[in-house]
Amino acid sequence: MKIAIAQLNPTIGDLSGNFQQILEAAKQAASEGVRLLLTPELSLWGYPPRDLLLNPGFVKFMSAELQTLAQQLPSQLAVLVGTVEANPHAFSQGEKPLFNSIALLDGGKVQQIFHKRLLPTYDVFDEDRYFEPGRQSNSFTIESDSKSKIRVGVTICEDLWNDREFWGKRHYEVNPIEDLAHLGVDLIVNLSASPYSVGKQKLREAMLRHSASRYQTPILYANQVGGNDDLIFDGSSVAFNRAGEVACRAKAFQSDLVIIEFDPERGDLLPASITPLPETEEEEIWSALVLGVRDYVRKCGFSKVVLGLSGGIDSSLVAAIASEALGGENVLGVLMPSPYSSEHSVIDAIALVNNLGIKSHKLPIGETMEAYDKLLEPLFAGTSFGVAEENIQSRIRGNLLMAIANKFGYLLLSTGNKSEMAVGYCTLYGDMNGGLAVISDVPKTRVFSLCHWLNRHGEIIPENVLNKPPSAELKPGQLDRDSLPPYDVLDDILDLIIHKHQSEPEIVAVGHDPKIVNKVMKLVARAEFKRRQAPPGLKITDRAFGTGWRMPIASRWLISNQPIEDCRLQIVD
């Protein structure tokens, strides 16, 4: 029996577009003799629909679309489609109003509905906000070509992520895969929308391998692909045979349709095409960011982008990502030197523009700075040059970039990295401006490693950009290292704070300088107000600033017993 995985790239709420994607995959699968087609979790909506789920009219409309889809599918093909179902017992039982569901469409009808049992409610996931967990094991039987009946266990994304033997602990009370194994299903399918983070696919495959071999049951894992706001879904759908070996793997970071043969007699999958995994983490991250930019730009209705080019490494990397995603002709780099800009800032930016084949324009901001100085002179008289003046420059640039974006209908990309966003080394309404923050989840040390990887076959990022010391160039001779610890130290401390949830004493205990740790913690706490107003940023780690980072602003979150004065939040830069 042939089973296909349609690794689709839906747009959230675009029901007609997503409907068409499923229908086209179904036609292609049917033409190749497929009996059962898998699509990702919530394939009709796109994942995550977020508060669109609170609109009952939308839910009803989706339900009607599902019926229509069932009628239009090729005969002889059964399709599992991700949708939501109203919970009829919500009000009487005090339950949530919806289920996160999979519909089995076959023979022109909705034959069966399965509900997701484990609802992730952590990080970027809010499923308890909308959904009631399913209480039953999900399975169906399907007649294969050979007229033997196959029993298929159905799981939805998180349902597979609770094996105590694999994780060493339980995340939820029940383990749906164990329940299915006890039922004695012939194979298990998992329909997912699992977002990318560095190394995630290796973890997924280790887990799937463990489950397939532990329960001696083939597992077919169908993942969503594509960027939806901050989340990048990497696809990499994969099938494991009973021995826990990869039988088939779809492409990473691209739409795909793969077909796998299930042999009812052997009760196992036959080997099929296996796309190799990306070779390095840098290759993986690069592909993720390219997809994230391409999809955000496209799904928001744009085709061209603009960004500021400072001659620094961050904007250089973002320009490279954008030109890979959209084509160099659709990228406009704007050089905006000030009197404090080094000679090299322009030379290096021009070299990058030439290497990438993107468009560029130069707008020196000196005279505009003078207009502000003149206007503010009566008010600022007697004060010395400081953060206020530094930020004016950055905000002039931000204003110019938005003017260009507004005038020509371009999307502005912002270029700050995660280390900067963490400590607030960036200007709100200045260099933070943009519709999308491309590398705001990429630590500075990783920015360097990505650029070196990018240059592996020849120069793309100019050598001087890689070698000069990082600088914001907002005052004469300014260097990042005068304000911040060295980036390798900073990134390590930030990882302990952000990813490992460690406190000041714990971070000092691993050997970091107490003064530096205290300074970094204060900076991270203080910068919360900036991050709250940042554009959506592409998520590549397991803890990004964004929809999954929910911190109070007016708060104290340092444990050390500093006087309040030292810990206070200053919303002044």
Shorter beta-carbon distance to its own copies: residue 283 or 506: 506
Q: SS3 for 163?
A: coil
Is residue 423 within 8 A of residue 439, CB to CB? The reply is no
Residues 390-419, mask of contacts with its own copies (x by CB under 8 A): -xx--xx-xxx-xxxxxx-x-xx-------
* Known catalytic membership, residue 248: no
Stretch that binds its own copies, among 25-33, 71-79, 152-160, 530-538 (CB under 8 A): 530-538
Determine which one of 41, 132, 158, 528 is catalytic: 41
- Contacts with its own copies in 178-207 (CB under 8 A)? none
Shorter beta-carbon distance to its own copies: residue 510 or 571: 571
How many of the chain's residues bind its own copies (CB under 8 A)? 114
Determine which one of 2, 127, 157, 444 is catalytic: 157
> What span, in angstroms and rounded, lies between the C-alpha atoms of 220 and 208?
9
Rule CB under 8 A: say whether 505 interacts with its own copies: yes
Q: Which two tokens stand for residue 131?
A: 């959904």
Instruction: Encode 131-163: b = buried (16+ Cβ within 10 Å), e = exposed.
Output: bbbbeebbbbebebeeeeebebbbbbbbbbbbb
Determine which one of 116, 251, 299, 530 is catalytic: 116
> What span, in angstroms and rounded, lies between the C-alpha atoms of 259 and 250?
9
Min dist CB 228 to its own copies, Å, is 6
- Contacts with its own copies in 201-260 (CB under 8 A)? 227-229
Position 91, amino acid: F
Task: Look at phi and psi of residue 118 and say left if phi exceeds 0, alpha if psi is from -120 to 50, else beta.
Answer: beta
Phi, psi of 248 (to 5 degrees): -165, 140
Rule CB under 8 A: say whether 481 interacts with its own copies: no
Shorter beta-carbon distance to its own copies: residue 416 or 435: 435
* Known catalytic membership, residue 2: no
Task: Look at phi and psi of residue 210 and say left if phi exceeds 0, alpha if psi is from -120 to 50, else beta.
Answer: alpha
Rule CB under 8 A: say whether 108 interacts with its own copies: no
Stretch that binds its own copies, among 257-265, 343-351, 428-436, 477-485 (CB under 8 A): 428-436
Stretch that binds its own copies, among 54-62, 188-196, 316-324, 510-518 (CB under 8 A): 54-62
From the list 448, 401, 405, 408, the residue with the least C-alpha distance to 427 is 401
Rule CB under 8 A: say whether 453 interacts with its own copies: no
Rule CB under 8 A: say whether 431 interacts with its own copies: no
- Contacts with its own copies in 88-107 (CB under 8 A)? 91-95
* Known catalytic membership, residue 407: no
Stretch that binds its own copies, among 73-81, 165-173, 248-256, 480-488 (CB under 8 A): 165-173
Among 39, 162, 237, 330, binds its own copies (CB under 8 A): 162
Rule CB under 8 A: say whether 166 interacts with its own copies: no
Beta strands in 107-230 (DSSP E): 109-115, 139-143, 149-156, 187-192, 219-223, 225-228
- Contacts with its own copies in 273-332 (CB under 8 A)? 295-296, 299-302
Task: Look at phi and psi of residue 301 and say left if phi exceeds 0, alpha if psi is from -120 to 50, else beta.
Answer: left
> What span, in angstroms and rounded, lies between the C-alpha atoms of 6 and 28?
10
Residues 349-388, mask of contacts with its own copies (x by CB under 8 A): ------------x-xxx-xx-xxx-xxx--xx--x--xxx
For residue 570, CA distances in Å to 141, 393, 420, 528 come to 62, 20, 17, 10
Is residue 310 within 8 A of residue 350, CB to CB? The reply is no
- Contacts with its own copies in 120-139 (CB under 8 A)? 121-122, 126, 128-129
Annotated active-site positions, please?
Answer: 41, 116, 157
